[in-house]
Structure formats: structure tokens, C-alpha cells
Chain A
């Protein structure tokens, strides 16, 4: 069984989870479905329909419900099953419920805490406003190696500080980069990066940072 520590982990950028979509991700070996109704915040659930174990990230969104692709069972926000198409006249038993994890959108990043009793605070990168998404990169290394790579990378004079276990902040002149660190599994780590401050509103500057992140990935993966 994969571990589920009490910790907030960034799993995607806000803009990557489109309205009315369900998407797969893996956090510390746990498969999750990140989905959004036609409007409203993203939801993070265990990627498993309680009926026959089908991955809910294959599901589709209709009428504000996430429906499993296998038999169309519909789950409301909060996880309760509200519709079993095989029995249109049956009110589904309250015991049928998808496994819902805590989730928050902050700094343009979707965070989740898989713990059964989540108490930890979100990483604090100051006010929520003004963050621009840069990109996500996935590095074929485990978290410790990636954190080492973040510390030694040439950020153009910027310095890196960790904020909690799951994020890092880079201060490069007038620009701040917030990097959410997602342990995927033993051999893979995701980085979800947003920026604010000087130049963050300029598309070309953001593209340059996106390219630099590509180099970051290369530099970490080049180390054995």
C-alpha cells in the first residue's frame, strides 16, 4: 500500500484541468482522478469506482456529476453516488461513495492532501493573487534527487528556498517562481511551476522560463 502522509502536494496547474474533464495523476504511488465540473474548483478523488474498480479518470462529467465510463454510475461533488443507470428508479444506497481527498486551488496550482486526517497547512508563498502558470515538467528521478537538482541549478542568479516539504520558491531578481514538487513514484517526480513579479505577465519571458525548466530536467536526468 502506498503511503499517504499528511502533506499538501501539487498535482497540476489550474489551467490543465479543463471544465467538464477527468484526468489521471499519481501521487506517491496512489492513483488519483483530478476532475472539474462544468464550473467550480477541481476535485481530487481516488482513481477507482467503488462499483467495479474502474479508473474514474476515464470518466465523463455530466450535470455536475463525475460518471464512471464502465456503467455510468454518477457521483456528486462530495463523492456520493446519485445515479445508477442500470436502475433508473432506484435511489442509490448512501453507502456507495467515491473516496474523496482534500483539494485546494492556490497560486494557480491544484494541491491535494491524501491523508485520512489532513491537518497540515498549505505551503505559504504569500498572497494568492497574481501568479502566472509557467509549465509542468516530469523528471525521471525520485524527489530527493530532484530537490538536489533544484538547489544546484543555475537559476540566473536566483536562490532557492524550500517552503515545507512539497514546494520550493526561487527568487530571481524581481521574479518569484513557485515550484510544487509532486512525488509520482520511486522513479518519477512532477514539478508544477508558477511565477509572479517582474516579467511574469510577459508571454515571452514565461516561455523563456519554460525552456529553462526543460534544461533543469535535462541537468537532473544527466546525473546518475
Chain B
């Protein structure tokens, strides 16, 4: 651009535009672009000067020259804006690139508070899940002591002293009080008696509760038995309950916990505290009933026991068996976990090995 032509006020818009575009294109940073913008469009730019000098022109020429200058300014502004956006994007990319962090390299253990979540024990998560199903069905959750009197653990459950049925529950006795009067509970059933007694005292029958907890039997530990294990039982006491209600409750629970494709069946069995009594099986969770090695080809897995509360138990708890009826059921929490997660050896539950624990 020739100085002379500017000072004379007669600029060459075409040449100015070409020069300007070149200068804009040459700016490689937003800062440089800001300077270019000031040079091209600022108060002392050729364009501004030319604009100021429009007044010296005749009206006819002034109008067309003014339009021409305004159009040129608008075009340059647009090009600068576009260039600025491009430069900003490039600069942001450069900053972000410099900030790059390979997340695969984060050393969690180096952090003061490990950003690692722990894990509930498999027995706890199974118990919680079971509780949630029962709570959703309207049950409350009750608990009781692990060391129990003979009365609560046996006698009130229709298992008098020396009764052969005690052979089903090989007990640990405690050196407390008279010999063999205090046992580590062999099932959570004593909580049923405590609940019934409390409900009688408070006049608050009906009862709808489940009782999860730790139990003890003098069995040698093996892959499918632990001398210390966890069980959940349920008891419902109300007017007019029947075996049909028991069977329906078991079925509802089974489908809710194991899934809609898993069903239940009841077979006659003997428990001193229920009459009629039943074992209940569920559809084999491995083969879904087709028959496999786990279910010995039967399509069913034994889960637990259940039945109508024996009138002798009601007598012991002070409930009139002619007015009230009830049903109870129970099964192993550990066994549930074993079935659901295909745990080959229950002893893993007690090993506290984090490689096992962290899978759940």
C-alpha cells in the first residue's frame, strides 16, 4: 500500500483488502491478531482515515465510496473473528495437550485416602439382599442373642431335654450356669419365641418378621458345612393362615430373590417346631430345572425347611393355637450365597482373603 494514496484519501479498496487478509492470515496467535486488528481497523488505520475523508468527496461519490468502505470493514471483521476463533481453539488444544494425564498411571496407593471402594462381606451382601426382599414383602427384621437358654433354643420349640430330635442339632454348650443349660443357638428359631412372647406381652400379634443371624452347630467344617454359619428364618402369626399361605410366601420370595424363572416345591419333612412340616426345594439355579451335576439331575436344589407353627410351640409362647395360626420357614444365608455365586468351598467365607472378598 502506498502512503501517498492514503494521504491523498484515494485508497485502493481491492489492494487494501488483499493486504489486510494477508496480515490476518499471518497472525499466529490471538495476541498478534489483536495487533493486526488494531492496525487494520483501529482509529489510525487506513480504513478509518479513508472513512474520515469521505466528507471531502462529492455526495454522489461519497455514498458509493462510503458503502464500499463499510462493506470492506464488515468483511475484514468477519475474517478476523473467524481467525480468532481458530487461534483460540488451537491455543486451548495446546494447553490441554500439555495437561495430558494418562489415567492408567494413577497410583491409588500413593494417595492418602485410597480412592478404592471396599467390599461388604459376601454374607453381609447376601443377608442385606434377602432382608430387602422380605422387607419389600412387608416383613420386619428381628434379632436375638447368639448364646441362648435351653428353653429358647430347644424346649419352647417342642424339643424337650434328651429328645432324640436334639440329635438333629449337635450343640455347643457353654460353661455358664447349670451344665448344658446355655447353648450357642443352633438356629435363629429362638428369636421366634422371643418375638411371640413379646407380642403376647404387648398384645401386638400379628407377627410378620424375618430373623437373620449367626448360628452354631458342632459339625466338622467341609466344603458345604461350617460349624458357624448364618441363617434367616421367617415367622408369620395371624388369624386364618394356612399351608397355602406358606407355600405362596415361599414362592413369592423365591421368584423375587432368585429370579422369575426359579420356582419352589415343598416335600414332607420333620421339624419338631412345625406341623405339617416341609423341606423346600428351588429350581436348580445352574440348569434352571433341566437337570445337571449340581442338582444330581433332579432339576431341584434343597434350600430350607418350613411348616405351620406347631401347636406345642404356640403353647410354650402363650399363644392360643385355636385362635391364631402361623407359619415359619428358614434357610442358610451362606448356602444361598454359595448357590448364587457358585462358591465351591464355604470355608472361603472365613478366610478373609481380599482376593475373594473383593469379588463381591
Is A bound to B? no
Q: A residues near B, CB below 8 A?
A: none
Q: B residues near A, CB below 8 A?
A: none
